[in-house]
Amino acid sequence: MCAVLFAGLCTMAQAQTLLVVGDSISAAYGIEIEQGWVARLQQRLDERGSSYQVVNASISGDTSAGGRARLPALLERHRPALTIIELGGNDGLRGLPLERLQDNLGTMVEQARQQGSEVILLGMRIPPNYGPRYTEGFYQVYQQLAQELDVPVLDFFLEGVGGVEGMIQSDGIHPTAAAQPLLLDNAWPLIEAGLQGPAE
């Protein structure tokens, strides 16, 4: 009976946590943390009467390798019901091997699922000046993961933000405070579906 009770308590704890593992886009670089899309996600959940607590484990400058190294401890500590992975942009901007990016992200998906978490990938794209082969290959990493691992992938997290006046900071990379509601809206359909669990 104790084992059954303990399992039930674990399930309850798991169902209350949503983990975001990302880079500067999710760490609210250049703006107040309360203005970031992750903080706005918590606000939206609270407004809808949800008991989920959002844990933002995003670090500016992080790569997929960094996320892969950090994830096991995060999963052990927080036991999330849903894990959102927003990584890869820094890999692309540094021109790192795409095979490594795919392996790192794929491993993170599998690690989270082994812990019992649903997973969402927030897809990114890189500027065309990296060359068509690398740019297209980078985009395809997320598409291949979606097919091979049957994981939900947002096609482009910065849709409607990148290149739009007022939506990007002066560095030309990071979204402004004004862009954060749109980022949340971009990700929300997948998040909402993930919180409901897998389809029966």
Catalytically annotated residues? 24, 171, 174
**Residues 6 or more apart in contact with residue 200 via CB below 8 angstroms:** none
Are the beta carbons of 47 and 74 closer than 8 angstroms?
no
Distance, in Å, from the CA atom of 178 to the CA atom of 181, rounded to the nearest integer, reads: 7
Name the DSSP class of 35: G
With CA atoms as reference, report the closest residue to 82 among 151, 11, 19.
Answer: 19
With CA atoms as reference, report the closest residue to 18 among 198, 192, 199.
Answer: 192
Distance, in Å, from the CA atom of 171 to the CA atom of 193, rounded to the nearest integer, reads: 34
Residue 167, helix vs strand vs coil:
coil
The helix/strand count (H/E) of the chain reads as 7, 5
